């Protein structure tokens, strides 16, 4: 099949539309992502299919599936668009200006409890930067950096480094964790609580895809126990509320312990996690992202 002329703006728009449809699974979802109409998406896809002289999607009712040609194009389209974005940033960086859009992902907890003073300082120092903050799970941020959706992730770091990952992670804050329960919980007030005792009571924890959950599960598994999860949610403020009303125990950042919940003395589960920043060292970071990295380093280990 004939390849496209990358210099043609319509073909770049076509690749962008193709990627949006492939990743959202629908023309409607692609239109919402790109802030254009669905007919405009269809037109761009039709133009791209005409340039390539091949069908990229099979449309069966409301379902959209990649054809064999679409599957072959997908990684190449991502690579082309990432290269173009990388080139644009490199050229823009030559101006030395710190402006434009900075897209980064962070968790609700970090956004509420760690970032406010940093963002206040950053916005005051770099008023021309438009912050595009995505509140997502830490694990999702890693994927979005790899695909180029965001430049940085200010997230919970994995308990062990993944040597196969192309991303670089830098620790910014230590975040000690505490086993917590309501003051009226049967285990509250005890001088010592074992993991076996915890295993007999309902737990409220994040999903098993999260780094925090993996740390907890590993501790239980090492002692031949299963984690007694009754409710799972990734919103720490929601977990705290459910713990406070007596629905179960949990593991939360020690900084969240207050009059509503108490820390249980579990000597077998002394754990912490690290919070930090993640980025792709193989890509050109915008001046705005570089400035954010410098400011994060200046805020290292601040409460």
Instruction: Please give the domain boundaries of the chain with CATH numbers for all domains.
Output: 9-93 (1.10.10.10), 100-173+275-298 (3.40.190.10), 175-273 (3.40.190.10)
Query: Is the overall model pTM greater than 0.85, yes or no?
Result: no
Give the tens place of pLDDT for each residue, 89-141.
888 878 888 999 999 999 988 998 899 999 999 999 999 999 999 999 888 89
What's the pLDDT score for residue 303? 58
Please say if the pLDDT value at position 289 is more than 90: yes
Tokens of 28: 């409607």
Give the tens place of pLDDT for each residue, 178-237.
999 999 999 998 999 999 999 999 999 999 888 788 889 988 999 999 999 999 999 999
Characterize the bridge pairing of strands 129-135 and 100-106. parallel
Q: Phi, psi at residue 121, to the nearest 5°?
A: -70, -40
| Residue 279 or 60, more confident | 279
CA distance 156 to 210: 9
CA distance 286 to 104: 12
């Amino acid at each position: 099949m004939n390849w496209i002329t990358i210099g043609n703006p319509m073909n770049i728009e076509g690749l962008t539309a193709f990627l949006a449809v492939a990743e959202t699974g629908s023309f409607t979802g692609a239109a919402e992502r790109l802030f254009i109409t669905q007919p405009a998406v269809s037109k761009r896809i039709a133009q791209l299919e005409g340039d390539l002289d091949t069908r990229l999607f099979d449309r069966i009712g409301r379902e959209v599936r990649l054809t064999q040609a679409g599957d072959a194009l997908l990684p190449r389209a991502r690579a082309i668009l990432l290269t173009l974005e990388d080139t644009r940033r490199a050229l823009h960086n030559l101006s030395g200006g710190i402006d434009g859009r900075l897209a980064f992902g962070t968790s609700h907890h970090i956004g509420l409890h760690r970032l406010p003073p940093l963002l206040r300082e950053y916005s005051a120092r770099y008023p021309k930067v438009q912050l595009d903050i995505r509140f997502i799970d830490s694990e999702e941020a890693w994927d979005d950096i790899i695909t180029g959706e965001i430049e940085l992730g200010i997230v919970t770091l994995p308990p062990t480094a993944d040597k196969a990952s192309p991303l670089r992670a830098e620790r910014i804050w230590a975040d000690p964790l505490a086993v917590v329960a309501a003051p009226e919980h049967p285990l509250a007030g005890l001088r010592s609580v074992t993991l076996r005792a915890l295993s007999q009571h309902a737990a409220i924890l994040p999903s098993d895809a999260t780094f925090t959950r993996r740390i907890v599960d590993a501790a239980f598994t090492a002692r031949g126990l299963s984690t007694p999860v009754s409710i799972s949610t990734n919103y720490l403020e929601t977990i705290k509320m459910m713990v406070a009303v007596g629905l179960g125990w949990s593991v939360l950042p020690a900084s969240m312990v207050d009059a509503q919940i108490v820390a249980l003395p579990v000597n077998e589960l002394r754990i912490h996690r690290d919070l930090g920043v993640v980025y792709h060292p193989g890509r050109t970071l915008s001046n705005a992202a570089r400035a954010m990295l410098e400011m994060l380093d200046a805020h290292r280990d601040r409460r």
